Amino acid sequence: MARRRIIAGNWKMNKTPSEAVALCNELKDLVKNDAVDVVYCVPAIDIVPVAEAVKGTNVHVGAENFYIEDKGAFTGEISAPMLKEAGVEYVIIGHSERRDIFGENDILINQKVKKAFASGLTPIMCCGESLALRKAGTYKEWIARQIKWDLTDITADQVKTLVIAYEPIWAIGTGETATADQAEEVCKMIREIIADLYDQATADAVRIQYGGSMNAANAAELLSKPNIDGGLIGGASLKADFGQIVNA
Ligand code: 13P
């Protein structure tokens, strides 16, 4: 089954609003590709200017985080209705930096996945193992557990529209990429887990990205693998290289 490729930038905590607009303008012609979904997941304060800057282009806007309530006394948080009104379509959930630095657990991540779907946002749901788990050889069990927890009470129809990002923590921002075979092994396993939890049609529809030091030089090989449907790109999404990844 042909799945549409999705290349998403995760800008993390980079780019002031004016820098964000400048980057959108720099990338505008480089990321043109109607066969690929292109997404910029940007810091909350950049969402409004980025949505304006990419208007009329093929670029979709994503958020890096949100909270599960619509409004109220949640100092410092941002809600799904706020994101929707600003033109956001995708939201990253469960990134390892949110898990490790900000203490998000799978219960909250599952609540966020539910809330995103209920709000009409498409989750980019992240999973992945630490170097210790990779070395211990228990990474497959770990990832299977993350997926099961994070998808609790999520329906097959919802999962068909979900994006899952496999991001081995040891490959994030380290310059060390999982080999294409290592990435494919886990992305294939994730699809099998979805087939077990739901059915084959759902597994065939869900889009699975690889993330971790993906760049202009290694993207084509990673993206050539049958179970890798796209990339979630950190560092290389902040420069012209991103255009080469979109067109890899
Ligand atoms: P890098 O591409 O900088 O390794 O970051 C990957 C990532 O964490 C994307 O979410």
pLDDT in tens, 223-244: 999 999 999 999 999 999 999 9
Among 167, 238, 239, name the best residue to mutate to test ligand 1's pocket (greatest count of ligand atoms within 8 A of Cβ).
167
**How many CA atoms, within 13 angstroms, populate the side-chain half-sphere of residue 176?**
7
**CA–CA separation, 207 and 5 (whole Å):** 8
At 173 the pLDDT is: 86
Asked if residue 211 has its Cβ within 6 Å of ligand 1, the reply is yes
Ligand 1 atom with the shortest distance to the CA of 236? 2
26 catalytically annotated: no
Whole-prediction pTM value? 0.97
pLDDT of residue 177: 85
Strand partners, 41: 10, 62
Ligand 1 contact, 234 CB (< 6 A): yes
The active-site residue, picked from 64, 104, 129, 167, is 167
User: What would the pLDDT profile of 82-138 be if each residue is shown by its tens digit?
Assistant: 999 999 999 999 999 999 999 999 999 999 999 999 999 999 999 999 999 999 999
- Asked if 43 and 32 count as a contact pair (C-beta separation under 8 A), the reply is no
Q: What are phi and psi of 181, to 5 degrees?
A: -70, -40
Round to whole Å and give the CA distance between 9 and 40.
Answer: 5
60 in catalytic set: no
Which phi and psi (to 5°) does residue 231 adopt?
A: -140, 150
Is residue 232 in contact with ligand 1, taking CB distance under 6 Å? yes
Q: Which 3-state string (H, E, C) describes 99-147?
A: HHHHCCCHHHHHHHHHHHHHCCCEEEEEECCCHHHHHHCCHHHHHHHHH
Cα of 71 to ligand 1 centre, how many Å?
Answer: 30
